[in-house]
């Protein structure tokens, strides 16, 4: 039982304050997840020609949909594309974010304000608009850089990764920079007194202290990257090399709303969610160890 | 920056980081400046003038965009403002109340509730969007404003931030004093807690505002009637319709430019709130 430690009396107040969040969580998170699981276990059975009203009914098929989803070549082809794309995005985006955060935090940089605002600016540009701007810049008839078919089969992954890097670096830079600013300056003064260079301070003191923040940004970036949807969907009208199942989430969308197979879509989205959870879980354990220390 | 002492030997070192920073800034400003210039070009000039030479068609482009389907573009702009403004405001209030409760009370199930709510961070929206659509459809609410507004109010990370911020911004002694004076818990939330949390909550509001403003997947799935579209979905349909008609490009480009102006304005005016140490509190703690 929780007694009044720290002074707060036992009352219904905290539960009341949490009620909106819990209700929203139940309605828009828990319920939809449950519904996805439910749908993934079912399928429409068609009898006869499937024309009359009673000829289609929903039946329970257990894990059949999941089995089919996991064995689907289209899904894994998409997963492979996203793996390549995602690795590129994560490494370049987080690398640049870390580099710029360290530069902004170093004592000797000029134009820091201009740089910080400019690099953060793309965060204010919606993914659709970013894809649209870069998409036009990639178009052979409009591009300022000739000789490269940015939207061709061999370059399109890089072109798309560039959009994500452009859009995501600033936000991650801000998170890392904010964390850097929170480190007491006195840590560096001692090192400087000992003759350590700025680079050495960055490598030996700043980066190790940033580890929890780097992990946090990595987890969020991984979750976002696995679900890439906006960029390829927006570029599709401009390029014929992006299929309607280019990324796993695009396949889910197609299954659900174009082919109308909700059950497969539900099963596939569970597979994507599973992969996403497994990938982020390892990271999260470390994050919890660091960021939540105050609670233990 | 200027107040910091700069040893002579290190001053020259500033060239390399400053150079890198400027390169990064140019890369980030490139597409934005491109759209700024391109929106001034008439459909003909778009393909003939060199990339960064301004054209003469800006007001024609505006007129065309205005006329496009009876000004539906401005409708999209208003819808986006409603979704982002209303959604972010509700989201911030819910997060602040939750954060206050989680940071300032000890109660049964506190850690459990917190962990479950925070677990929501890890749920990819892919498992949510389709069933959310189906559930809204069952209630007859798909393709309504509610379908876009309601699912975006709960934001687990904002709750986490609000908890961290309430922990550092609200002294327990103040709540104690209030209780001794006989204030109810509701009064402590609304008169003591929330006012002290305002600086942090402005940041939560801004980030949520941008997230909703930029969201594409949810409205794309939920809405069919283009009178309810936000800008992202509207511009996408404009692109999908006009990708094969280069004569429509100027319309799309002008729309893209206008769609980013409000957020960029928000950025430049609210700058100090974009670098608060909300998350810094989490690391220090």
| pLDDT band at residue B166 under the 50/70/90 scheme | very high
Same domain? A36 vs A132: no
Question: CA B42 to CA A76: how far, in whole Å?
Answer: 44
Look at A133 and B95 and tell me if their CB atoms are within 8 Å. no
Question: CA B265 to CA A3: how far, in whole Å?
Answer: 49
Q: Nearest CB to A124: which of B11, B132, B263?
A: B263
Same domain? A284 vs A259: yes
Q: Tell me, yes or no, whether A46 lies in a domain.
A: yes
pLDDT at B20 over 70: yes
pLDDT at A296 over 60: no
How many domains are contained in chain A?
2
Q: Tell me, yes or no, whether A3 lies in a domain.
A: no
The dihedral sign for the CA sequence A129, A131, A134, A136: negative
Same domain? A133 vs A207: yes
| pLDDT band at residue A286 under the 50/70/90 scheme | low
Q: Nearest CB to B128: which of A29, A136, A213?
A: A29
Same domain? A57 vs A77: no
**Average confidence (pLDDT) over A60-76:** 89
Residues of B within 8 A of A238 (CB-CB) are 239, 243
Ramachandran category for residue B140: left, alpha or beta (phi over 0 → left; psi -120 to 50 → alpha): left
Same domain? A116 vs A219: yes
Strand partners of residue A56: A46
Supply B252's token pair. Answer: 């799309």
- Residue closest to A258 by CA, chosen among A268, A267, A245, A270: A245
Q: A29 with B123: CB under 8 angstroms?
A: yes
Tell me the count of A-B CB pairs closer than 8 A.
Answer: 318
| pLDDT band at residue B268 under the 50/70/90 scheme | confident
Task: Identify the domain boundary among A13, A31, A62.
Answer: A62
What is the pLDDT, as a whole number, of residue A36? 92
Fold (CATH) for B66-284: MetI-like fold (1.10.3720)
Residues of A within 8 A of B39 (CB-CB) are none
Residues of B within 8 A of A2 (CB-CB) are 106-108, 110
- Which of the residue ranges A49-53, B16-20, B76-80, B125-129 would you say has the lowest mean pLDDT? A49-53
Query: Where exactly are the structural domains of chain B?
Result: 66-284
- Percent of chain B at pLDDT > 90 equals 67
**Average confidence (pLDDT) over B40-45:** 88
User: What's the distance, CA B261 to chain centroid?
Assistant: 13
Question: Among all chains, which residue has been given the structure tokens 């769609």?
Answer: B259
Question: CA A116 to CA B169: how far, in whole Å?
Answer: 27
Strand partners of residue A60: A42
**Average confidence (pLDDT) over A133-154:** 87
- Which of the residue ranges A40-54, A254-268, B115-129 would you say has the lowest mean pLDDT? A40-54
Q: Tell me, yes or no, whether A133 lies in a domain.
A: yes
Supply A279's token pair. Answer: 């990938």
Question: Among all chains, which residue has been given the structure tokens 């960021």?
Answer: A291
Supply A112's token pair. Answer: 């820091």
Look at B94 and A123 and tell me if their CB atoms are within 8 Å. no
Q: Tell me, yes or no, whether A67 lies in a domain.
A: no
What is the pLDDT, as a whole number, of residue B175? 93
Distance from the B102 Cα atom to the nearest Cα atom in chain A, whole angstroms: 7
Residues of A within 8 A of B111 (CB-CB) are 295
Higher per-residue pLDDT: A156 or B11: A156
- Which of the residue ranges A144-153, A267-276, B87-96 would you say has the lowest mean pLDDT? A144-153
- Percent of chain A at pLDDT > 70 equals 89
- A173-217: pLDDT as tens digits: 988 998 898 888 888 888 888 888 888 888 888 999 998 888 888
| pLDDT band at residue A153 under the 50/70/90 scheme | confident
What is the pLDDT, as a whole number, of residue A293? 52
What is the pLDDT, as a whole number, of residue B178? 93
Q: Which residue of A has its CA nearest to B147?
A: A28
Distance from the A20 Cα atom to the nearest Cα atom in chain B, whole angstroms: 6
Average pLDDT of chain B?
Answer: 88
Residues of A within 8 A of B118 (CB-CB) are none
Same domain? A127 vs A191: yes
Give residues with Cβ within 8 angstroms of B40, minimum separation 6.
B54, B55, B56, B57, B58, B61
- Which of the residue ranges A223-227, A243-247, B60-64, B270-274 would you say has the lowest mean pLDDT? B270-274
- B171-183: pLDDT as tens digits: 999 999 999 999 9
What is the pLDDT, as a whole number, of residue A3? 40
3-state secondary structure of A247: coil
Q: Nearest CB to A178: which of B52, B216, B279?
A: B279
- Residue closest to B192 by CA, chosen among B213, B176, B210: B176
CATH of the domain at A238: 1.10.3720.10
Q: What is the 3-state secondary structure (H, E, C) of chain B?
A: CCCCCCCHHHHHHHHHHHHHHHHHHHHHHHHHHHHHHHCCCCHHHHHHCCCCCCCCCHHHHHHHHHHHHHCHHHHHHHHHHHHHHHHHHHHHHHHHHHHHHHHHCCCCCHHHHHHHHHHHHHCCCHHHHHHHHHHHHHCCCCCCHHHHHHHHCCCHHHHHHHHHHHHHHCCHHHHHHHHHCCCCHHHHHHHHHHHHHHHHHHHHHHHHHHHHHHCCHHHHHHCCCCCCCCHHHHHHHHHHHHCCCHHHHHHHHHHHHHHHHHHHHHHHHCHHHHHCCHHHHHHHC
Question: CA B242 to CA B252: how far, in whole Å?
Answer: 8
Look at A182 and B283 and tell me if their CB atoms are within 8 Å. yes
**Residue A42, φ and ψ in degrees, nearest 5:** -125, 170
Residues of A within 8 A of B186 (CB-CB) are 13, 16
Question: CA A59 to CA A43: how far, in whole Å?
Answer: 6
Q: Which one of A4, A6, A18 makes the best mutation probe of the B interface by having the most chain B beta carbons within 10 Å?
A: A18
- Residue closest to A223 by CA, chosen among B120, B154, B115: B120
Residues in chain B: 285
What is the pLDDT, as a whole number, of residue A223? 86
Q: Nearest CB to B123: which of A1, A29, A109?
A: A29
What is the pLDDT, as a whole number, of residue A54? 65
| pLDDT band at residue B277 under the 50/70/90 scheme | low
- A71-129: pLDDT as tens digits: 999 999 999 999 999 999 999 999 999 999 999 998 778 899 999 999 999 999 999 99
What is the pLDDT, as a whole number, of residue B2? 43
Residue A241 per-residue DSSP state: S
Element (H, E) at A57: strand A56-60
Residues of B within 8 A of A96 (CB-CB) are 24
- A227-251: pLDDT as tens digits: 899 999 999 999 889 999 999 999 9
Question: Among all chains, which residue has been given the structure tokens 């509610």?
Answer: B146
Same domain? A56 vs A203: no
pLDDT at B284 over 60: no
Question: CA A33 to CA A274: how far, in whole Å?
Answer: 12
Look at B28 and A144 and tell me if their CB atoms are within 8 Å. no
What is the pLDDT, as a whole number, of residue A185? 86
Look at A272 and B259 and tell me if their CB atoms are within 8 Å. no
Same domain? A205 vs A156: yes
Q: Tell me, yes or no, whether A103 lies in a domain.
A: yes
| pLDDT band at residue A294 under the 50/70/90 scheme | very low
What is the pLDDT, as a whole number, of residue B243? 81
Same domain? A56 vs A163: no
The domain of A36 spans: 23-62
Supply B182's token pair. Answer: 């006989």
Give residues with Cβ within 8 angstroms of A48, minimum separation 6.
A55
pLDDT at B251 over 80: yes
Same domain? A51 vs A127: no
Supply B107's token pair. Answer: 């109660």
CA distances from B58 to A143, B33, B55, B68, B250 (A): 20, 15, 8, 15, 9
Same domain? A54 vs A132: no
Same domain? A86 vs A55: no
- Which of the residue ranges A56-60, A63-67, A121-125, A247-251 would you say has the lowest mean pLDDT? A56-60
Q: Tell me, yes or no, whether A87 lies in a domain.
A: yes
Q: B200 with B278: CB under 8 angstroms?
A: yes
Q: Tell me, yes or no, whether A257 lies in a domain.
A: yes
Question: CA A137 to CA A145: how far, in whole Å?
Answer: 9
Q: Nearest CB to A35: which of B134, B249, B267?
A: B134
């Amino acid at each position: 039982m929780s007694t009044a430690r720290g002074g707060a009396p036992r009352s219904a107040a905290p539960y009341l304050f949490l009620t909106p969040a819990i209700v929203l969580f139940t309605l828009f998170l828990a319920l939809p997840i449950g519904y996805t699981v439910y749908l993934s276990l079912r399928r429409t059975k068609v009898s006869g020609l499937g024309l009359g009203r009673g000829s289609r009914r929903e039946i329970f098929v257990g894990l059949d949909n999941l089995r089919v989803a996991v064995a689907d070549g289209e899904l894994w082809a998409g997963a492979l594309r996203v793996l390549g794309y995602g690795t590129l995005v994560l490494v370049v985006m987080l690398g640049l974010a870390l580099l710029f955060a360290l530069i902004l935090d170093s004592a000797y940089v000029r134009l820091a304000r201009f740089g910080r605002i400019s690099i953060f600016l793309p965060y204010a540009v919606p993914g659709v608009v970013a894809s649209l701007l870069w998409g036009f810049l990639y178009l052979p008839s409009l591009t300022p850089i000739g000789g490269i078919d940015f939207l061709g089969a061999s370059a399109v992954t890089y072109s798309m990764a560039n959009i994500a890097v452009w859009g995501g670096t600033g936000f991650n830079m801000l998170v890392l920079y904010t964390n850097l600013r929170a480190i007491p300056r006195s840590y560096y003064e001692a090192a400087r007194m000992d003759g350590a260079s700025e680079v050495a301070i960055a490598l030996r003191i700043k980066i190790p202290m940033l580890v929890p923040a780097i992990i946090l940004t990595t987890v969020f970036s991984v979750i976002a990257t696995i679900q890439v949807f906006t960029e390829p969907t927006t570029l599709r009208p401009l390029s014929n090399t992006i299929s309607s199942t280019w990324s796993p989430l695009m396949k889910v969308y197609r299954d659900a709303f174009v082919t109308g197979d909700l059950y497969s879509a539900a099963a596939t989205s569970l597979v994507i969610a599973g992969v996403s959870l497994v990938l982020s879980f390892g990271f999260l354990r470390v994050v919890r160890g660091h960021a939540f220390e105050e609670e233990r | 920056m200027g107040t910091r002492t700069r040893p002579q030997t290190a001053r020259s070192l500033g060239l390399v980081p400053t150079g890198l920073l400027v390169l990064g800034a140019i890369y980030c400003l490139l597409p934005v400046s491109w759209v700024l210039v391109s929106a001034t070009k008439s459909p003909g000039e778009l393909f003939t003038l060199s990339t960064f030479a301004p054209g003469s068609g800006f007001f024609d482009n505006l007129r065309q965009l205005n006329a496009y389907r009876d000004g539906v573009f401005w409708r999209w702009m208003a819808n986006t403002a409603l979704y982002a403004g209303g959604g972010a405001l509700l989201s911030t209030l819910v997060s602040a109340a939750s954060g206050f409760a989680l940071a300032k009370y000890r109660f049964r199930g506190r850690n459990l509730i917190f962990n479950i709510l925070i677990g929501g961070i890890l749920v990819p929206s892919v498992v949510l969007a389709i069933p959310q659509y189906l559930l809204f459809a069952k209630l007859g609410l798909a393709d309504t404003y509610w379908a876009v507004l309601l699912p975006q109010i709960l934001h687990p990370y904002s709750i986490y931030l609000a908890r961290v911020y309430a922990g550092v911004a609200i002294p327990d002694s103040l709540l104690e004093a209030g209780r001794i004076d006989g204030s109810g818990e509701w009064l402590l939330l609304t008169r003591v807690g929330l006012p002290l949390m305002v600086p942090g909550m402005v940041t939560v509001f801004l980030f949520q505002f941008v997230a909703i403003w930029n969201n594409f997947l949810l409205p794309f799935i939920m809405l069919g009637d283009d009178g309810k579209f936000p800008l992202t979905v509207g511009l996408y349909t404009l692109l999908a319709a006009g990708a094969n008609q280069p004569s429509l490009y100027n319309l799309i480009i002008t729309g893209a430019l206008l769609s980013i102006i409000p957020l960029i304005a928000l950025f430049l005016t609210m700058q100090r709130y974009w670098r608060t140490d909300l998350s810094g509190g989490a690391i220090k703690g």
